[in-house]
Structures are given as structure tokens and as C-alpha cells.
């Protein structure tokens, strides 16, 4: 398990929001390719960690996921939006099967 004080750059790949598991302001993400997500009426946000950037994708009008923003790393454990200054997030926990974040 990794905490926000560890190296967040070791978190790589694509993670999909498992909103059914969210609690107390913490959002839960699971590996996109291996987690058996239940059917959902609303779309799921996806975070793709690629090197030193994070691509945030949301469902488009046809339900296919489309990139919305790219986040640049601000400091270890925390990411902020690179161009618009919108809210970022902090990695609270990272393990091979779960990623937990807190929006800032």
C-alpha cells in the first residue's frame, strides 16, 4: 500500500471510478482492465497516469469515454490542473487493486 507521502509516480495505467465505494469524501478508483465493474446508469470517470501527467476522461454524449483535462504534477502525492487552475486531487492510498483520492 502507498500513502500520499510515497512516490505517486509509481501509480501508472488507467483507473476507473468505482463511485459505489466512495465514502467520507474519498473517491475510489479500480484498475480499468481487470476490475469487474457492475452495470451503472451514469458514466464512470477515468484517470490515466502516464509518466508525469494524469489524463482525466469522462463519458461523452455517446457514452464513450473522452479526455477532458490533463493534470500536471504539482508536488509528491498531489496533482493540480495544468492549464486552467481548476481543482486537483491528492492520492490518499494506492495499491495494485485500489486507488483512493481526495479532491482538493
Judged on CB neighbours under 10 Å (0-12, 13-18, 19+), 8 is buried
**91: in domain:** no
**96: in domain:** no
User: What pLDDT score does 66 carry?
Assistant: 86
Q: Give mean pLDDT, residues 87-96.
A: 87
Domain that holds residue 79: 2-86
The rounded distance, in Å, linking the Cα atoms of 9 and 30 is 17
**98: in domain:** no
**94: in domain:** no
**Which tens digit of pLDDT belongs to each residue from 45-62?**
999 998 878 888 988 888
**19: in domain:** yes
- Counting the structural domains of the chain, the total is 1
Output b/e per residue, 17-31; b: 16+ Cβ within 10 A. bbeeeeeeeebbbbe
**27: in domain:** yes
Phi, psi dihedrals of residue 8, rounded to the nearest 5°:
-70, -15
**Which tens digit of pLDDT belongs to each residue from 3-43?**
444 554 568 999 999 999 999 999 999 999 999 999 988 88
The residue that leads in pLDDT, 48 or 65, is: 48
The residue that leads in pLDDT, 56 or 69, is: 56
**99: in domain:** no
**45: in domain:** yes
Q: Which residues contact 9 (CB under 8 A, 6 or more apart)?
A: 51, 52, 73
Amino acid at each position: 500500500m502507498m500513502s500520499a507521502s510515497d512516490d505517486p509516480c509509481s501509480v501508472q495505467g488507467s483507473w476507473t471510478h468505482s463511485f459505489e465505494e466512495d465514502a467520507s469524501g474519498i473517491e475510489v478508483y479500480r484498475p480499468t482492465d481487470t476490475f469487474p465493474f457492475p452495470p451503472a446508469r451514469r458514466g464512470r470517470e477515468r484517470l490515466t497516469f502516464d509518466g508525469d501527467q494524469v489524463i482525466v476522461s469522462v463519458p461523452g454524449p455517446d457514452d464513450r469515454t473522452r479526455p477532458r483535462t490533463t493534470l500536471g504534477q504539482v508536488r509528491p502525492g498531489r496533482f493540480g490542473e495544468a492549464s486552467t487552475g481548476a481543482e486537483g486531487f491528492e492520492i490518499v492510498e494506492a495499491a495494485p487493486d485500489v486507488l483512493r483520492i481526495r479532491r482538493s
